[in-house]
Amino acid sequence: MFELLKQLNASVLGWVRRLNHHRLPGIFNRYPNRTAKILPSVVISELAPGIPMRFELRDSIQRELYLNGSLYERADIDLLSSLCAGSGTAFLDIGANVGVYSFWSLSRFPSVRVFAFEPNPRTFGKLSETKSLGNYPTLHLIQSALGDASGTATMCATDLNSGASTLGSNPDLPGLRKYEVPVITFDEWREQNTLLFAGIEQYVIKLDVEGFEPRVIRGMFKFLTRENVSLILVEFLDLCLRNAGHTAAELYDLLLSAGYTGYTDREFKSPLSGPPPAPAPVNVYFRRNALPDGDLPITHTVARSAAAGESQRPGLAFETSPRHGPAPEPIGPSKSKNFVKHLLIPSAVHRFLPNR
């Protein structure tokens, strides 16, 4: 009986998510564990507009995606997606995890060519499953890690947090699992798959591999110095870099020597003079330095909102995506209580929700 009530709750909250920009109202986000208790372990909903997914709520990343939806790393997803608007663009999602960046980009611009690299076998299975639930002819999934030499490596991972998978050491992971995964260099892989890149004029890259970033850069150095790369988003996480035997300074200097300048602001107004300070994780945006003719490779203007107090997001964002038209008015915090009050959640499970 209780499982039936959970299924009913999942149906109701799925409807709520669709009305509320593919995320739940704030009250559910404030109490994620209690929310998970009233739901099945696997919930079918949309990751992004038109992108169905089976969310495994045991994984903290998938649970956060289900709860926060369109707010999850929103500013960075908007920025990268906006650069994928033009024809002849390829998006390299290196360390794709369950594919949030890949699928959001495809939701907005279905013609963008996406190459998602993910070595964790369990997480790659989720990527493949989500792809099988829709029609994504331009999405290419590669079950391999990228590095500076081809071979194999040991991955430390946990089913409780797919975002913590690393090729470095992490003995403190709860529920630690170890996998032997293949490693390839991007430069070699691209030479073996040249037909996949026919007609590509510019590239957008997201690089988040929990400390293995310097090796990835070394393995794609030729590509980075020769091709039209509009933007590289790189996560600097000092602890993971050190666990993998690297430093933030090493990663920063590699990209600098490849001809890129780093920024921590999405307006690209304040170039960095060195790596971001440790220990907090920081996303750094690397733009190609001026080409010989003086032009920068970024070809799409990233518009910003000038309204006071409003978060800055690119103009080519969720609300104006051609795939699904204008977005509905989100349910603000002031409406959350009344909205939850009228949900068709059986009274038998209301005791798991906060009494606010």
Residue 229 lies in a domain: yes
Is the same domain home to 84 and 191?
A: yes
Residue 49 C-beta-side C-alpha neighbours within 13 Å:
20
pLDDT at 305 > cutoff 60: no
Token reading at 294 = 């003086």
Are residue 343 and residue 248 in the same domain, yes or no? no
Compare 218 and 319 and report the one with higher pLDDT.
Answer: 218
Domain boundary among 242, 272, 288: 288
Assess contact for 78 and 326: CB atoms under 8 A. Answer: no
Instruction: Give ∠ CA 173-175-177 in degrees, rounded to 5.
Output: 85
Give the model confidence (pLDDT) of 143-195 as tens digits.
999 999 999 999 999 999 999 899 988 777 788 899 999 999 999 999 999 99
| Paired sense of beta strands 229-236 and 282-288, if any | antiparallel
Residue 12: pLDDT band with limits 50, 70, 90: very high
* 75 close to 88: Cβ distance less than 8 angstroms: no
The boundaries of the domain holding residue 22 are 2-57+318-352
Question: What is the mean predicted confidence (pLDDT) over 78-103?
Answer: 94
Among residues 347, 350, 230, 353, which one has the least CA distance to residue 286? Answer: 230
How many structural domains compose the chain? 2
In a domain, 210, yes or no: yes
The answer on 226 and 85 residing in a single domain is yes
Give yes or no for residue 245 having a pLDDT over 80.
yes
Out of 272-276, 277-281, 317-321, pick the least confident: 317-321
Question: Do residue 146 and residue 278 come from a single domain?
Answer: yes
Q: Where residue 290 falls among pLDDT bands split at 50, 70, 90?
A: low
Whether the CB-CB separation of 144 and 182 falls below 8 Å is answered with: yes
Question: Count of alpha carbons within 13 Å of 209, Cβ hemisphere only?
Answer: 29
What is the reported pTM?
A: 0.81
- Whether 301 is covered by a domain: the verdict is no
Q: Which of the 8 DSSP states describes residue 139?
A: E
Closest CA to 114 of 124, 99, 125, 128: 99
